[in-house]
Amino acid sequence: MRGDPAFEDIKLPLASGSRRIHGSVARDLGIAILAGRYAPGDVLPGEIEFSEQLKVSRTAYREAVRILSAKGLVESRPRTGTRVTQRSRWNLLDPDILAWAFEAEPSESFIRDLFELRMIVEPAAAALAAERRSGLDISRMGHALEEMGRYGLSTEIGRAADQAFHNTILEAARNGPLMALSSSIAAAVTWTTIFKQRRSALPRDPMPDHRILYEAIVAGDVEAARTAMTELVRLALADTELSLKA
Amino acid sequence: MRGDPAFEDIKLPLASGSRRIHGSVARDLGIAILAGRYAPGDVLPGEIEFSEQLKVSRTAYREAVRILSAKGLVESRPRTGTRVTQRSRWNLLDPDILAWAFEAEPSESFIRDLFELRMIVEPAAAALAAERRSGLDISRMGHALEEMGRYGLSTEIGRAADQAFHNTILEAARNGPLMALSSSIAAAVTWTTIFKQRRSALPRDPMPDHRILYEAIVAGDVEAARTAMTELVRLALADTELSLKA
DNA sequence: CTAAGTTATTTGTATGAGTAAAGAGCTGAG
DNA sequence: CTCAGCTCTTTACTCATACAAATAACTTAG
């Protein structure tokens, strides 16, 4: 894939994120857990031993474990040590966890589950947005759409515009928790998009569907917005499935 | 605080969980942030000064900050210090954050947003459950329903059965991320239930609606399950609004 | 006035010593 | 033999201290 002009400029969204040690260790361990290298119930090596293995201080290692623990991946107690918790207790919608999951080659069923959730949430969000959008929302969406059309999804700018478009819809829905949820998923979707692009050229022009959605929200047509977004997610799923089989 | 009679019999769902210092500090600061005592953009005092104020070591304080940072509440950088992030970056669906939010007297609009989200997600989850439930799911739900009827929602056992009932529905939907989402919300709902009970006796018998939902899922009737759950959430919202005004 | 370099402040990392919790195993009474 | 209660030992937890790295603000050369 080297030199393929379509990917050269991809900046991994929140990839290695913090260059701080505790952040990197948390990320590495998080990926390892999500990849199944440490299974639920497994006990990690003791603090001293493990931090020496990782060539970091106990301080940094412990802070990393606190991060993982805050996301529900592990649980530490004196005497028992630090063990990986049951999958049902993981905060699967945490943005970091989603990012780590996609770094760890997510299972097909996990991707399917995410799309199922998108299919539930995003059309409803679009419907709310159609009801509540302000003039500012509309102008932002319009601008994003224009940039998206001009640069296409194969460029960094185009993808940023796409995200801005969807983000504005969420903001227009005026619901904090809903926004937190969808933007977590959106981050994951970005990853699937990158996946798609890795395997095959983008198989479809996404602009017409985006425009239909935009018009519906501008018109304040709740049901049209809902169906338009449904269609958008459906197509995204179809594309993703295609590229997963490729 | 041991022995405060107001709290003695309430088992805080996953409340102060760890009595470890870093956990308590994270919880206290988290509540303070969600209550608005530290606003987005505010810079916390320096590590040394603040940890002295709180009478804990810098180590413990830093681990607390890592927890908050993992949940998106704060962000630390050398030289600039640790500052509260914009609300849009908070992981509002994190179970701890929801619990803290309800400890901090949540705004009415926040509760409304949560119910709006429930209204979107839970009927869909019930529909999926009707499609995918196994015999084991059905027998679990039946058992929970029976206990719920026997003990009522005013007892600890009854509330546990209620949670088990809803939890089984989620499991039956066979979707990890959806389950993570809904069980986060469920925790919050528990808090609102406690709120309700504090202010007024439960104003309605919840059993008939639960039974309708149960029957729909047993029958595998997707649409009936969806509408039954919609009704259940709608009633819960009505009850909550009533008690908020009381 | 601009740009490059310097400084000072704050978080980040490291290390070692000591504390507290919690399961394992032992002990003794029944 | 069984089991309650105690001791023991392992492990994470807390603390104090020192030093490193990063970066915003300042300073100075051009």
CB–CB contact A93 B181 (8 Å): yes
Least confident of A4-18, A56-70, A147-161, B143-157: A4-18
Which nucleotide's C1' sits nearest to the alpha carbon of A79? Answer: D11
A 80-119: CB within 7 Å of strand C:
80
Tokens of B76: 């630390």
Residues of A in contact with B222 (CB under 8 A): none
Residues B209-227 have pLDDT tens digits of 999 999 999 999 999 999 9
User: Which chain D nucleotides are covered by protein, judged by CB under 7 A?
Assistant: 9-17, 21-24
- Judged against a pLDDT cut of 50, whether residue B12 lies above it is answered with no
CATH topology match: B1-105 vs B107-245 = no
Say whether the CB atom of A56 is under 7 angstroms from strand C: yes
Residues A73-127 have pLDDT tens digits of 999 999 999 999 999 999 999 999 999 998 888 898 999 999 999 999 999 999 9
**Phi, psi of B101, deg, nearest 5:** -60, -40
pLDDT value for B19: 80
Tokens of A17: 């994120």
- CATH topology for the A21-89 domain: Arc Repressor Mutant, subunit A (1.10.10)
- Judged against a pLDDT cut of 70, whether residue A8 lies above it is answered with no
Residues of A in contact with B91 (CB under 8 A): 91, 93-95, 180, 184
Q: Closest partner residue to B176 among A113, A120, A184, by Cβ?
A: A113
Say whether the CB atom of B2 is under 7 angstroms from strand C: no
Residues A12-37 have pLDDT tens digits of 333 444 589 999 999 999 999 999 99
User: Which chain A residue is nearest to residue B101, measuring alpha carbons?
Assistant: A177
Domain covering B1-105 assigned CATH 1.10.10.10 in the classification: yes
Instruction: Considering only CA atoms, name the residue closest to the C1' of nucleotide C14.
Output: A57
Tokens of B81: 């210090």
pLDDT value for B115: 94
pLDDT value for B2: 34
Least confident of A39-43, B36-40, B86-90, B161-165: B161-165
CB–CB contact B177 A113 (8 Å): yes
The pTM of the full predicted model, rounded to 2 decimals, is 0.90
- Judged against a pLDDT cut of 70, whether residue A10 lies above it is answered with no
Q: Would you mind telling me the total number of residues written for chain B in this entry?
A: 246
Residues of B in contact with A113 (CB under 8 A): 175-178
Q: CA of B79 vs C1' of C4, distance in Å?
A: 21
Mutation site, A22, A59, A97, A113, interface B, largest B CB count within 10 A: A113
Task: Please state which CATH class domain A106-245 belongs to.
Answer: mainly alpha
Ramachandran area for residue B82 (φ above 0: left; ψ -120 to 50: alpha; else beta)? beta
C-beta of residue B236 within 8 angstroms of C-beta of residue B111: no
CB–CB contact A178 B96 (8 Å): no
Say whether the CB atom of B83 is under 7 angstroms from strand C: no
The two most distant CA atoms of chain A are separated, in Å, by: 62
Q: How does strand A81-84 pair with strand A74-77? A: antiparallel
Residues of B in contact with A178 (CB under 8 A): 113, 116-117, 120
Distance (Å, rounded) from C-alpha A223 to C-alpha B116?
17
Burial (0-12, 13-18, 19+ Cβ within 10 Å), B17: middle
Q: Which amino acid is at A6?
A: A
Residues of A in contact with B13 (CB under 8 A): none
Tokens of B196: 């309700």
Which nucleotide's C1' sits nearest to the alpha carbon of B60? Answer: D14
Say whether the CB atom of A67 is under 7 angstroms from strand D: no
Domain ranges of chain A: 21-89, 106-245
Radius of gyration in angstroms for the set of CA atoms belonging to chain B, rounded to a whole number: 20
Q: How many CB pairs under 8 A join A and B?
A: 103
- Judged against a pLDDT cut of 70, whether residue B7 lies above it is answered with no
> From 3.30.420.40, 1.10.10.10, 1.20.120.340, 1.20.120.530, which CATH number describes the B107-245 domain?
1.20.120.530
- Mapping DSSP onto H, E and C, the string for B149-170 reads HHHCCCCHHHHHHHHHHHHHHH
Residues A121-176 have pLDDT tens digits of 999 999 999 999 999 999 999 999 999 999 988 888 898 899 899 999 999 999 99
Cα–Cα–Cα angle for A157, A160, A165, rounded to 5 degrees: 125
Calculate mean pLDDT across residues A222-244.
90
Residues B102-122 have pLDDT tens digits of 888 889 899 999 999 999 999
Calculate mean pLDDT across residues B158-183.
94
